[in-house]
A and B are shown apart, each in its own frame.
Chain A
Amino acid sequence: MTLEPNIQPASTGRSQIPDGVQDRFLAEAVRRRRAESALRECFARWGYWEVIPPTFEYYDNLSVGAGPRLEQAMYRFFDRQGHTLALRADFTPQVARIVASKLYDQPMPLRCFYMGSLFRYEEPQAGRQREFTQAGVELIGANTPAGDAEIVALAVAALEALGMAGFQINLGQMAFFRALTRRLPPDLLASVRQAIDHKNQSRLAAALDGVEDGHRQLLERLPDLVGGVEVMDEAQALCGRLGGADAAMAALERLASVYRRLEAYGVAERVILDLGEVRGMDYYTGITFRGVVPGLGWPLISGGRYDDLIAQFGRPLAAVGFGLSVGRALLVQDRVALPVTADVLVHGCHEGACLALVRELRQQGCRVEVDVLGTETASLAAEARRRRIPRSLRCEGDGWVLTDEAGQRVLSQRALLAEAVGWARPPDRVKGEGL
């Protein structure tokens, strides 16, 4: 005899879904779609066009530029010919493939955005399931400080479009780190990078033991080179003492130039220079940045320049972009109560002009439910209350009987349509309103 746990008495045994995926419905679904529309609108205003890549592709293409960690997290499977396929775990290689194989002769630069699900076999954590929604942009074919600055400024605009308050962008320069560590053997480079990434000073010192003095001093300072323009001054001073550090100097100059443009965009107060920002996709070659917001333990946005990735698909094209986790953004929003009901319940008898009126109301932008249960006219108002709809409506002779919280009134069609203008709630208002 077995003891059946009886938590879900009505369960048919088909109610479970796998770890790491979620059903979204009612207000949660509305919030998500609003956030997505706000982002679409924002990206479009900056001149970006949507690309819609497939959900799965050949693994070999999707894994280009992915580090070992991301590779391990990919869902892989076989098609019937035995090819290895994978669910996409990152949009950027897809965009790179599309640009290199199809859009390479379009006038450059190309500006595109994407939005959709990514799939990673990782432990689900706040706001990020194994299937999660990412929105992002790529600016292709412009290796300029102006291009870098546009992407950072657009990241600020995207966070504003989501109604985020108090956020900050930490802007780093991978080219600087790469220039400084060019001569380190790969093992050592990995431990130096990890120590900087964890701001673990003692492990960093241990890893750099034996590295020549100038480079060691500069690398040991990296975790603390975070702040305003004064950070650049210190880095430049330290860098100036090194021999043959032209590439590192150039990388700093590039970052300074991007920062000046961000001042001109009026977003510099959102940006912290962070030379200890050495994390990110393995394909980053230039600026790199993360957006953080109070109340969330993880970054919301991460992006950077990747000038070598598209070349791996056959066309050498510079690119810079970012990805934003929509689910995490929703975690930070105030949960304003969001009614997911129609504006009015209409009796909808087929004799009178009921259904014609319904059409007019819908054209005016009202959300209208028509009663399909054959509810008696006398019970219509009660039915509307049960469905949490704020008002109900039925025809009577040439006029209309409207019942709402103020009581019952008889109105002419004209008066009714005039009143109905105030019923509709704006469907996709986002700014200033909790999502």
Chain B
Amino acid sequence: MSDVLTIALPKGRLLDPSAALFRHLGRRCELGNGSRQLLVTEEGHGSEGAMRFLLVKPADVPVYVEYGAADVGIVGQDVLWESGRDVYEPLQLGFGQCRIVVAGTPAQRDRNFRLATGLRVATKYPRLAQSYFQQQGLPIEVIALSGSIELAPLVGLADLLVDLVETGRTLRENGLVELEQITPCQATVVVNRVSHRLRLAEIRGLLSGLEEANQRLFAVD
């Protein structure tokens, strides 16, 4: 197949570093920067084959990639795991480092949750929250919210929250404390399972290029 390789990039905080990786590879990834274009196709790129970039909501990156509408994508692991989509995850990137944590008011610190019944947990990550508490053997009621999760424990909507934190500042400013880390997470490259098979050489080339660009731009040591 001589088709262009389609790359899905997430709107928001991961867009700039993601686009920087591709620009480092000499790709004309002209998304963002005030442009409202959602789809940019490179004009011919020599023998290497052109790429096409899609700008989508983070939660939609795994969807585009699982269906094969995009061959490759970049997305946060929090979003990827919450989506439960079946894609390859061959390369983790050195940006977007965060943690998914359980937090609550300081009063929750000494609570024995095994004795609690009707525990309510507010979150943007209902799947992750549900499966984490299930593993702990704690039955919970998930309250799925779409933002300002910190509010929920403060006004009695929920006992706890599960959310993504980078520095923990928002939690502190709202008088909340981190009780448990569920998992660290970072930006990751995802690849469609069929594209990886059918366009193996191309995708291998891209992945090693991205790995090197990642080392250069975002090496953490």
Contacts and interface: CB of A to CB of B under 8 A. Distances in A.
Interface in A156-187: 166, 168, 170
B198 A199 contact: no
Interface stretch (A9-17, A135-143, A291-299, A419-427): A291-299
A165 to B, nearest CB: 10
Given A166-B1, A227-B200, A200 B193 contact: no
A198 interface: yes
A223 interface: yes
A376 B126 CA distance: 66
A338 interface: no
A200 B87 CA distance: 10
Interface residues of A, number: 23
Given A166-B1, A168-B198, A199 B90 contact: yes
Contacts of B192: 297
B127 to A, nearest CB: 12
B77 to A, nearest CB: 10
Contacts of B191: 199
A272 B69 CA distance: 23
Contacts of B69: 297
A297 B88 contact: no
B66 interface: yes
B113 interface: no
A126 B191 CA distance: 18
B67 interface: yes
B197 A168 contact: yes
A201 interface: yes
Chain B, interface SS category = mixed
A81 interface: no
B99 interface: no
A297 B193 contact: yes
A293 B66 CA distance: 14
Contacts of B82: none
Contact of B194 (A223, A272, A296): A296
Contact of B89 (A168, A200, A299): A200
B68 A296 contact: yes
Nearest to A290: B197
B24 interface: no
B90 A200 contact: yes
Nearest to A126: B67
B173 to A, nearest CB: 33
A297 B197 contact: no
A297 B90 contact: no
Nearest to B92: A202
Contacts of B66: 297
A208 interface: no
B27 interface: no
A299 B198 CA distance: 11
A297 B194 contact: yes
Contacts of A74: none
A252 interface: no
A346 interface: no
A295 B68 contact: yes
B193 to A, nearest CB: 7
Interface string A278-298: 000000000000101111111
B187 to A, nearest CB: 13
Contact of A198 (B68, B89, B194, B197): B89
Contacts of A324: none
Contact of B67 (A202, A227, A293, A297): A297
B33 to A, nearest CB: 30
Contact of B193 (A126, A226, A299): A299
Contact of A272 (B88, B89, B90, B197): B197
A349 B68 CA distance: 56
A298 B87 CA distance: 10
A294 B1 contact: yes
B76 to A, nearest CB: 15
Contacts of A274: 197
A223 B91 CA distance: 12
Interface in B165-217: 191-198, 200
B88 A299 contact: no
B91 A201 contact: yes
Contacts of A202: 92
Nearest to A167: B198
Contacts of B195: 297
Interface in B50-69: 66-69
A170 B89 contact: no
Contact of A199 (B1, B67, B68, B88): B88
Interface in B30-87: 66-69, 87
A223 B204 CA distance: 12
Contacts of A198: 87-90
B162 to A, nearest CB: 21
A331 to B, nearest CB: 11
A223 B90 contact: yes
Contacts of B196: 199
A166 B89 CA distance: 25
Interface in A292-328: 292-299
Nearest to B91: A201
Nearest to B191: A199
Contacts of B89: 198-200
Interface of A: 126, 166, 168, 170, 198-202, 223, 226-227, 272, 274, 290, 292-299
Given A272-B197, A298-B68, 16 more contacts: A126-B67, A166-B1, A166-B198, A170-B197, A199-B88, A199-B191, A200-B90, A201-B90, A226-B200, A227-B200, A272-B200, A274-B197, A293-B194, A296-B68, A297-B68, A297-B194
Interface of B: 1, 66-69, 87-92, 191-198, 200
Please provide the 5 A-B residue pairs with the shortest distance between their CB atoms, ordered closest to farther: A297-B68, A199-B90, A199-B88, A292-B194, A200-B89
6 contacts: A126-B67, A168-B198, A199-B88, A290-B197, A293-B194, A297-B195
